[in-house]
Chain A
């Protein structure tokens, strides 16, 4: 696809553009003009082409106070864009490149990035990503000159954003941008968690708690890994039909379990428990349910959900002694710079199904509809198109 823009006119200068501003927790985003500073050293300014809403945006958007809460803020962390300009020292990408901004850092230099194990990046201090990772400051100011906070170092609900090079992945131009956008968080998280992090084996029994985009992506991953049974657990009975398209073989609705607990039902239907249980919602009580649904002597529970209330996970010590494992990961345990391209290739080779995740599309000015649809449980991924960008392939 071709994107025409006056790239070199704006390099080195602040850009005035539109952003969907979150001024108060839980309130509809407001379309405002912001000023986006030029990228400093190691940074990239990106023109966002399309973005999508992930529930993690919603979780932090709703959080009115506490160490993770910052307002006004530009949310959004699942997106695809084009490099408008780069700061000093950036050689990996240049103006015009199609890129994904990723919340998961990957500097490539620290001990963790260099290790084959895990996908943590320890170059920058851990923080809630409300500013740029190297100096903690913001590149956004509103029309009153006030700082607007970043989100996860991405902030894609804006026509332009600035992202550190450790969070930028160059994409092959063959992949349609709306499919590319899905790979920058939710779908990669789910598929990666199943295939790379948990390494679901052929013939395994998998149980997935929460059939949103991440849960269904886990199902897609488990399907690719040739799991024999993929049990979906969700309160919304419609998710079963939807889930079948992603490989779900059995469905459990917690409200229809009668006197039994969900974990009892799953233990019974799997003759002792599932080999792999994934929590894809963000509720500690469900993480415990997932754990109790896992098989003794090898059952693995993987936590993917971002706990919405800060509640702790509580499990029985004897049950873990019985050979169970609990793990958690961000971004499916993947290293963005090395692993996303293989998923893009799998999509282009028609192995990985991405189309099924896109249930709605809106234009940027209607971004609040995306929130409504997700909160009402009506959407998986709603693509939000920036102005003048169309889905031309």
Chain B
């Protein structure tokens, strides 16, 4: 990342009108479910108590943005500034913020980490109880928004981040300071997708060297699980996807086997995997967000010690159903996690170090890059299954 110093003193304490034109961006507002985002000027209020205002450098599209963009019922709401995978620089901080300063390179992260509550202090949980995770639409402490459009209408936040905007306001619990040595179009990946997948393998599942792993869904998350499994020394990494192109793509991520789920014939996917692993995989990861796939994954993890990890986010209200006899008799474990079970403030720096030490590979996740005005193209590419991560640059 180049050492360009950003002069923020003239904007601190004042609302910012994000201006359009000149390659820079305003905010990409989702005004109606499923409709292209509208790039428009918005007013971003100064940070209140325990908040910081961030100038976004680049952001990337994650399928969870799409889920809540096209959903027509709560917790979806409109008009909203989506986006939760990003990297930026602190423009200004509230008076009572001392742990961050203007100029700091930071990741806004959707999973709060207050670092003080019992859960943040415990090494068993990454779910902050001071700011419980939910699909939030406002700021966490006072429940209000920092965004208004030019008509004065309130714009909703998205899971405490809202990165599809030149500037955003984020609570300190949702900010992780990072080493600026990592290029921004690699750093932003760690604020959601890649951390989630790598963490699911290394932290939630704790994949051991020599294991057999099966991954359902080879989007960025699934391939990040593969990256984590590769780092852990898994012997076999089986990828399952409906898109046959993922076979070749998967090889770059260490996949040893590929199952095209549309070519299983009379067999179920779980039957194919059980057969090819002589009884089931040690670890199965569901990385799409479909109850039916969670069931398949559970069915083909090995009895006795198999673990099925739920990573994908389904629609709210989705139910998982299991045969009670199997739950009792098969000795399998079902576990789920958010953000790969990682704690943002302590674990992201650890991942960045792994990247800088060349243990963790991030380059292969970025398949496309666009300017902010072309943000809707990022949506098209992901919906068409053509991209893994498309980085959206604010200022090119």
Q: Could you tell me which A residues sit within 8 Å of B by CB distance?
A: 112, 115, 117-120, 122, 272, 284, 287, 295-298, 303-307, 310-318, 320-330, 333
**How far, in angstroms, from A295 to B127 measured CA to CA in the complex?**
10
User: Which A residue sits closest to B315, measured CB to CB?
Assistant: A317
| Number of A-B contacts defined by CB within 8 Å | 132
**How far, in angstroms, from A143 to B13 measured CA to CA in the complex?**
96
**How far, in angstroms, from A316 to B336 measured CA to CA in the complex?**
11
Q: Are B330 and A328 touching (Cβ within 8 A)?
A: yes
User: Which A residue sits closest to B331, measured CB to CB?
Assistant: A118
Which residue of A122, A314, A330 is within 8 Å of B329 (Cβ)?
A330
Q: Are A323 and B314 touching (Cβ within 8 A)?
A: no
28 sample A-B contacts, Cβ–Cβ < 8 Å, listed by A number = A115-B305, A119-B331, A122-B304, A284-B324, A297-B119, A297-B127, A298-B122, A303-B328, A306-B328, A307-B324, A310-B325, A311-B324, A312-B322, A312-B323, A315-B319, A316-B317, A317-B294, A318-B313, A321-B337, A321-B338, A323-B125, A326-B322, A327-B327, A327-B332, A328-B328, A328-B331, A328-B332, A329-B331
B337 CB, min distance to chain A CBs, angstroms: 5
User: Which A residue sits closest to B323, measured CB to CB?
Assistant: A312
**How far, in angstroms, from A214 to B106 measured CA to CA in the complex?**
52
- Residues of B near A115 (CB, < 8 A) are 304-305
Query: Is B126 interfacial (CB 8 A cutoff)?
Result: yes
**How far, in angstroms, from A303 to B322 measured CA to CA in the complex?**
12
- Residues of A near B133 (CB, < 8 A) are 322
User: Which A residue sits closest to B326, measured CB to CB?
Assistant: A328
- Residues of A near B324 (CB, < 8 A) are 284, 287, 303, 307, 310-313
Which residues from 312 to 353 on chain B have a C-beta closer than 8 Å to any C-beta of chain A?
313-314, 316-325, 327-338, 341
**How far, in angstroms, from A145 to B320 measured CA to CA in the complex?**
48
- Residues of B near A324 (CB, < 8 A) are 335-336
Q: Could you tell me which B residues sit within 8 Å of A by CB distance?
A: 119, 122, 124-127, 129, 132-133, 204, 279, 291, 294, 303-305, 310, 313-314, 316-325, 327-338, 341
Which residue of B303, B320, B325, B329 is within 8 Å of A320 (Cβ)?
B320
Which residue of B204, B317, B328 is within 8 Å of A330 (Cβ)?
B328
B221 CB, min distance to chain A CBs, angstroms: 13
**How far, in angstroms, from A295 to B341 measured CA to CA in the complex?**
15
Q: Ordered nearest first, which 5 A-B pairs have the shortest CB separation?
A: A297-B125, A118-B304, A297-B127, A307-B324, A120-B304
**How far, in angstroms, from A211 to B129 measured CA to CA in the complex?**
31
Q: Are B124 and A298 touching (Cβ within 8 A)?
A: yes
User: Which A residue sits closest to B316, measured CB to CB?
Assistant: A318
- A312 and B127 contact, Cβ closer than 8 Å, known pairs A120-B304, A305-B328, A329-B331: no
Q: Are B303 and A317 touching (Cβ within 8 A)?
A: no
- Residues of B near A122 (CB, < 8 A) are 279, 303-304
Q: Are B304 and A307 touching (Cβ within 8 A)?
A: no
- Residues of B near A323 (CB, < 8 A) are 125-127, 204, 335-338, 341
